[in-house]
Amino acid sequence: MFKTPQVNACCYCTEEDYGIKQELEDIKNILNTLISTLENGDYCPGPLSYPSDCLDVQENGDNMSGVYTIKPDGADPFQVYCDMDTDGGGWTVFQRREDGTEDFYRNWDDYENGFGSLEGEHWLGNEKLYNLTKQKTYGLRVDLEDFEGSSRYAKYNPFVVAGPADNYRLQLGSYSGDAGNAMGVCQNKQFSTFDQDHDTWGSSCALRYKGGWWYEHCHYANLNGEYHKAHPLMVLVSIGHNGKAIHTQLKFTEMKLRPV
């Protein structure tokens, strides 16, 4: 056991001296209790507790946008970028394009596991999206910005990504926003990459448009398509606006989810 060092009694002990002595006695008792617990094997630390998504992070008191570790129910912990600024915050970001530095013409395994830099361009990973969206009811927000600095957004409620047995099929609910319902055709579509084609076209949309996506025949919006190097900071995307399909050159896209 822990023993308090012996100190010769002083001739003139003040009230402060007695207070210090009592504090030392309290520390000794705490240490002895801890030592006894460890020696008897009674101490068993529980598992680390992680937030399940970025809304949990926010509700735990962290209000700065940045990289955090989360753990959805039944999954291993992993890092995500949390957007704490947009539309009330608490958004778990799973896609970002901003400068063309990251190649999105990737195979099935890359899209399944994720790639890129969480603080820059990236795809979080289809398996992580599945683990996130199966634990709660989530909504999707898509933020877009063009070269003139004009921003638009689209929201879908609910937003669900199925598991690998169903090729990460996408389920989208009702649309709101001002970007147009371009992702509406992605409803109930399986994910496709150049090496795993699950679209409804006779050929491969992922091969033609050089990116993994929930293709139909092929798309109105393809935020993972080829970044055109000839035009810096540009992605060519079709957006349905006011019921019409138009093409808009975007320099920034971000997709994120939050419980509803």
Q: What is the tens place of the pLDDT at every residue in 42-55?
A: 666 667 799 999 99
The answer to whether the pTM exceeds 0.85 is: no
Beta-ladder partners of 250: 146, 235
Residue 191 makes CB contacts below 8 A (sequence gap 6+) with 111, 126, 167, 168, 169, 170, 198, 212, 213, 214
Confidence of residue 235 (pLDDT cuts 50, 70, 90): very low
Position 239 scores a pLDDT of: 45
Q: Tell me the percentage of the chain whose pLDDT exceeds 70.
A: 83
Is the distance from CB of 68 to CB of 62 less than 8 angstroms?
A: yes
> How far is it, in rounded angstroms, from Cα 136 to Cα 138?
6
The two structure tokens encoding residue 165: 């047995």
* Beta-carbon count within 10 A of 249 CB: 14
For residue 241, pLDDT beyond 80: no
Position 79 scores a pLDDT of: 98
Is the distance from CB of 43 to CB of 33 less than 8 angstroms?
A: no
**Long-range own/partner contacts, residues 19-28 (CB < 8 A, 24 or more apart):** 28/2, 28/3, 28/4
Angle at 72 (CA atoms; ends 136, 127), nearest 5 degrees: 95
Confidence of residue 125 (pLDDT cuts 50, 70, 90): very high
For residue 253, pLDDT beyond 90: yes
Q: What is the tens place of the pLDDT at every residue in 160-190?
A: 999 999 999 999 999 999 888 889 989 999 9
In sign, the C-alpha dihedral spanning 74, 77, 82, 84 is: positive
For residue 9, pLDDT beyond 70: no
DSSP-based three-state secondary structure for 123: strand
> How far is it, in rounded angstroms, from Cα 242 to Cα 111?
32
Q: Which residue has the higher pLDDT, 181 or 16?
A: 181
Q: Which residue has the higher pLDDT, 74 or 38?
A: 74
- Which one is the CATH code of 54-259: 3.30.365.10, 3.30.565.10, 3.90.215.10, 3.30.70.1110? 3.90.215.10
> How far is it, in rounded angstroms, from Cα 119 to Cα 10?
62
In sign, the C-alpha dihedral spanning 226, 230, 235, 241 is: negative
For residue 122, pLDDT beyond 80: yes
